[in-house]
Homo-oligomer: A and B are copies of this chain.
């Protein structure tokens, strides 16, 4: 008996998932370990930058008024009354026709309102210099707060911490940073045809590549993978493994066993553990048999055993939920537009996701398939950095058309990519 399943559109399937309650957790980690993590709080400037008026150059701090009559022919002579290295202070008050030697970054001494660069001064003796032109009030002074005012939001919650964000966190004294805890994502590979990576291939068998691929996809998405091993297509053993795994992880991803064949036990297991099935067929290629279900607060994903369908199913459905657990503000793959690099003459009855690679031609993005695009095909996956989205319809697509692509190597994401997919009929 072939079970009848009704395919739901991709956007509807993602919607059913992304409206599920997923409670992300946060933790404090040392700043030097924060690169690549997702920030769990807005970061404010805790003080002005610069925190004080300072010199952007090596030179002499003076009173601007004293330079007003200086010229090439009639230089003005100043008495050098002190020296300020970066990080030190001049404690006195500078008086008329006095100058203080100042280093880049050092605070402007009281009384001074201009800095004259070293190369525009002439050393007369150990404590005398000459200046040969006038400087206006404020010349060569970096003003307190001119970069950033105290209280400004610098980095938003939900952002992936990059080196620039680390610099900001250090500047404002964040020795520890509040980040999202990486959710634990379990992996179970099912299929009696699977041998593990270190086992010899015997007739009729294939190697278990999905589990290792999923480990990497989970890491790329920001989660932490826990691999529970591979299982033969045996109901009791699979049921037991699923139950056990669910006690240890936040989400469970099962590869294989999701279809309607005699050896596909995932539907029966979901029934047995009283999971609520959100969808079990999606109007897309590859990956139409993708299943998602909830048991309490935990999510279970049933992905196709086929490597390409597994890959696509993960990125469209599992990744956004990992991002949600990570408190990211944009859960979905980043959608941009690109020019189609090749023809797709066949119309698609369902929305199609073509594993593709982006290239740049002048200022335009071009997307072309990264290899053969049969869903069984693994050899193109290594080159894949995006999916071309080809909506269903009665006509094919032509080279040069503008299409939507979903970026796979991107931390920014999209809020909701599933409206207004480019149809691109000429």
Contact = CB atoms under 8 A, between A and B. Distances in A.
Given A86-B191, A204-B87, A227-B32, A402 B363 contact: yes
A337 B411 CA distance: 21
A397 to B, nearest CB: 14
Nearest to A367: B363
B382 A32 contact: no
Contacts of A220: 35, 162-163
Interface residues of A, number: 112
A277 interface: no
A28 interface: no
B35 A103 contact: no
Contact of A382 (B162, B192, B232): B162
B51 A167 contact: no
A208 interface: yes
B142 A376 contact: yes
A242 B147 CA distance: 32
A35 B194 contact: no
Between A164, A191, A377, the greatest number of chain B beta carbons within 10 A of the residue's beta carbon is seen for: A164
Nearest to A221: B163
A111 B379 CA distance: 29
Given A154-B382, A168-B381, A379-B168, A212 B103 contact: no
A415 interface: no
Interface in A345-361: 355, 360
A170 B259 contact: no
A326 interface: no
A402 to B, nearest CB: 5
A274 interface: no
A167 to B, nearest CB: 4
Given A52-B203, A379-B49, A170 B337 contact: no
A206 interface: yes
A255 to B, nearest CB: 11
A399 interface: no
A197 B170 contact: yes
Contacts of A355: 164
Nearest to A410: B409
Contacts of A82: none
A155 interface: yes
Contact of A204 (B45, B106, B259): B106
B382 A165 contact: yes
Contact of A86 (B193, B216, B307, B409): B193
18 contacts: A32-B215, A34-B216, A47-B201, A52-B204, A85-B262, A87-B191, A87-B194, A87-B204, A147-B376, A162-B216, A163-B213, A165-B381, A167-B212, A167-B311, A168-B209, A170-B211, A172-B207, A364-B364
